[in-house]
Amino acid sequence: MSTSVADQFTVVAATGGATAPKGFAAAGLHCGIKAKAGALDLGILAADTAVPAAGIFTTNLAQAAPVTVSKRHLETNQGLVRAIVVNSGCANACTGTVGMSDAGQMAAETAAQLGCQPNQVLVASTGVIGVNLKMDKLVPGIRAAASALDRDNGGILARAIMTTDPFPKEHAVTVKTARGTFTVGGTAKGSGMIEPNMATMLGFLATDAKVSSALLQRALRESAAGTFNAITVDGDGSTNDCVFALASGASGVEIDDELYPALLAGFYEVSRELAVGIVRGGEGATKLITIAVKDARTAADAMRVAKTIANSPLVKTAVHGADPNWGRIVAAAGRSGVMFDVDRATVRVGGILLFENGLPHDDNAPKAAEHLKQKDVSIDVDLGTGGGGDATVWTCDLTAEYVKINGEYRT
């Protein structure tokens, strides 16, 4: 039996982030948006030339100016982008016509420095809502960043996009295929105001595979479904969420429909690592919680149940306190709005059975409590509805530190 080209690939972890693929350079610096001296607050990710690009955006109807501008640019630039310019410390959201003008000026200034059209620059911002950008700081900052672009600056870019993130997030993989090897890399930020309806955070992916804008958009959207769209910290979707992907083609490996699974696998591996990193670094988080729901009528139903459990403050606080309170998990599943048979469902924490067929197994509670003291926690729910639909969601515990961070965010 013959094996297709699509079956002949392997994905291997690599070093670096968004500039690990060939054909990209980055810069990051402090321009003065953040008050703290030396705190990086501006970054650029640039391709050597205008390259195929894709983007997905927040579904929040209160969309920030950079989201609107970047959407417009992707609609008018024939899918070709030279660079992404991003600032942290100010969201440029709910800032009216001034905010729109500022986002456009960020693109125009970057384009002028790189010698491309303004609509070949995508714009992203993150930080406090309702505050205008300091354009007198940003414009010279963009000029300085454009002159400092280097392939070795991927890690600096990862730091420049952080707000309350406790650590930078970047990842890369090489994908070895029968036609050659290409690389996928990326960086992301996010810590609070995290629940995706496409990709709740900022994320930038790059590849040196040769990909059309249409296939790139497909890979970005499909990989996000089980990664960036499968995380939640606090159930709040931001005004500024976006994920961009750029493809330089510098590896010479051309992606067609047959080789598409290899590209998707690379995107998925990078996106999952970044997405889980966002949750692990959630505001105030001390535990990463993996919630797997099985045997729903559909995968969409399973995702809805998993998200309901993941966003339950009662479940999240119980995990923080190492309390194996299976009742909170069952209650969340039962109110999720999908078919749920409590007399057939099972709940396991750390693989330890706590609830089955409508009855508790409280004798196992001490073992489950020990599992909940670990930094990585698992909750498995079988709905028992016979549909075979599965989904996995990643979340974190809810702590007093989360309240402190967000109670003082603007002060």
* Closest C-alpha among 248, 242, 275 to residue 55: 242
Region 72-84: what's the mean pLDDT?
A: 97
User: Which of 180-194, 199-213, 318-332, 335-349 holds the top average pLDDT?
Assistant: 318-332
pLDDT confidence band for 144 (50 / 70 / 90): very high
* pLDDT of 67 over the 60 cut: yes
**Half-sphere exposure of residue 335, counting CA atoms within 13 Å on the CB side?**
10
Summarize pLDDT for 204-228 with one digit per residue, the tens.
999 999 999 999 999 999 999 999 9
User: Which of 132-146, 199-213, 388-402 holds the top average pLDDT?
Assistant: 132-146
Query: In this predicted structure, which of 23-27, 38-42, 56-60, 193-197 has the lowest mean pLDDT?
Result: 193-197
pLDDT value, residue 410? 62
Sheet bearing 389-396, strands edge to edge: 359-360, 352-356, 346-349, 376-382, 288-296, 389-396
Higher pLDDT, 375 or 196: 375
Region 191-196: what's the mean pLDDT?
A: 59
Between the alpha carbon of residue 85 and those of residues 52, 198, 199, the distances in Å are: 16, 21, 18
Strand duo 169-177 + 9-14: pairing: antiparallel
pLDDT confidence band for 59 (50 / 70 / 90): confident
Region 284-307: what's the mean pLDDT?
A: 95
pLDDT value, residue 199? 46
Domains of the chain: 5-280 (3.60.70.12), 288-407 (3.10.20.340)
Summarize pLDDT for 230-277 with one digit per residue, the tens.
988 876 666 778 899 999 999 999 999 999 999 999 999 999 999 999
Share of the chain above pLDDT 90, in %: 80
Q: What is the 3-state secondary structure (H, E, C) of the chain?
A: CCCCHHHCEEEEEECCCCCCCCCEEEEEECCCCCCCCCCCCEEEEEEEEEEEEEEEECCCCCCCHHHHHHHHHHHHCCCEEEEEEEEEEECCCCCHHHHHHHHHHHHHHHHHHHCCCHHHEEEEEEEECCCCCCHHHHHHHHHHHHHCCEHHHHHHHHHHCCCCCCCCEEEEEEEEECCEEEEEEEEEECCCCCCCCCCCCEEEEEECCECCHHHHHHHHHHHHHCCHHHECCCCCCCCCCEEEEEECCCCCCECCCCCHHHHHHHHHHHHHHHHHHHHHCCCCCCCEEEEEEEEECCHHHHHHHHHHHHCCHHHHHHHHCCCCCHHHHHHHHHCCCCCCCCCCCEEEECCEEEEECCEECHHHHHHHHHHHCCCEEEEEEECCCCCCEEEEEEEECCCHHHHHHHHCCCC
Catalytic residues: 200
Tokens of 331: 């209650």
Summarize pLDDT for 6-29 with one digit per residue, the tens.
568 999 999 999 999 999 999 999
CB-based contacts of 61, cutoff 8 Å, min separation 6 = none
* pLDDT of 340 over the 90 cut: no
CA gap 189, 186 in Å, rounded: 11
pLDDT value, residue 405? 79
Region 20-45: what's the mean pLDDT?
A: 96
Mean pLDDT of the chain: 92
pLDDT value, residue 198? 46
CA gap 196, 59 in Å, rounded: 9
End-to-end Cα spacing for the chain: 66
* Closest C-alpha among 300, 326, 307, 310 to residue 387: 300
* pLDDT of 164 over the 50 cut: yes
Region 373-380: what's the mean pLDDT?
A: 98
* Closest C-alpha among 192, 71, 164 to residue 122: 71
pLDDT value, residue 197? 56
Long-range contacts of 303-307 (CB under 8 A, 24+ apart): 303/230, 303/391, 303/393, 304/336, 304/337, 304/338, 305/332, 305/333, 305/336, 305/338, 305/340, 305/381, 305/383, 305/391, 306/230, 306/381, 306/391, 306/392, 306/393, 307/195, 307/232, 307/336, 307/393
Query: In this predicted structure, which of 61-70, 185-194, 266-275, 299-308 has the lowest mean pLDDT?
Result: 185-194
Region 117-140: what's the mean pLDDT?
A: 95
CA gap 21, 271 in Å, rounded: 15
